[in-house]
Copies of this chain bind each other. A is one copy, B any other.
Amino acid sequence: MQPPIIILVRPQMGENIGAAARAMMNFGLKELRLVAPRDGWPNPKAHEMSAHAEHIIEQAKVFETLADALAECQVAFAASARRRDMEIRYYFPETAAQIFVQEDVVSAYVFGPENNGLANEDIALCNGVVTIPTHPDNKSLNIAQSVGVLAYTWFRASQGEQKPLEVGEGVELASQDSLQKLYDYLDGELNVRGFYKTENLRPKMQMNLRALLGRMVITKQEIQTLWGVIATLTRK
């Protein structure tokens, strides 16, 4: 699957370009394009902030116009929080990402300068606007944060449905019957020690205690640990 290209139009601060590159790398994006960067290119501050993403900075291409930067792209979405007085489609980040993933084309996210964002003329060159939902009082996202959120949503979409998180080796959830055996043992020990004061209360107390154990979503190792805890507590 081809990851989307990130295009920064007239970016101002090298630090933001570097931070954007770092976020790109975290989510498997590789290609950065710059349209008329304010402080020229290369920019040492971009290098500095890119952490381990220097190669993205070093391979970044510079263009004079957005049209040049978009030349061979097939689907491009402009990142913008503002509603424009123009006819354009607006997309949620997740929807835009799904479109990129589904089409598997040369795709791009386009970001404007830090002070004013993209001009309407820039947006007219794109296939739509992607808007990151924000709190209505604070819509102005840092540019590297915007790159991070869109790169994240693309990465999630590119993985398909909920690929399980890898956990440590040998970590395995316990089965319900092993939990039930543990509970039965505990219940027996509590019983002989007079935990259930009245027969009336017993069923409800048993049910609640069983539910409490079940709530933990417990591993095989933890079941062993709890056997040990109960055995130790009941040792004479």
Contact = CB atoms under 8 A, between A and B. Distances in A.
Interface of A: 19, 22-23, 25-28, 51-53, 83-85, 87, 89-92, 131-135, 138-142, 144-145, 148-149, 152, 155-156, 159, 162-163, 165-168, 171, 217, 219, 221-222, 225
Nearest to A165: B90
Contacts of A221: 87
Contacts of A132: 152
A134 B27 contact: yes
A87 B219 contact: yes
A124 to B, nearest CB: 13
Task: From A87, A91, A155, A221, name the one whose CB has the most chain B CB atoms within 10 angstroms.
Answer: A87
Contact of A26 (B83, B135, B167): B135
B145 A87 contact: no
Given A51-B140, A51-B142, A53-B138, 20 more contacts: A22-B145, A23-B141, A23-B142, A23-B145, A25-B138, A26-B139, A26-B141, A28-B135, A28-B138, A52-B138, A87-B171, A87-B221, A90-B167, A92-B165, A131-B165, A134-B155, A144-B145, A145-B148, A148-B149, A149-B149
13 contacts: A26-B139, A27-B135, A28-B134, A28-B135, A51-B140, A51-B142, A87-B221, A90-B167, A92-B165, A133-B165, A144-B145, A148-B148, A149-B152
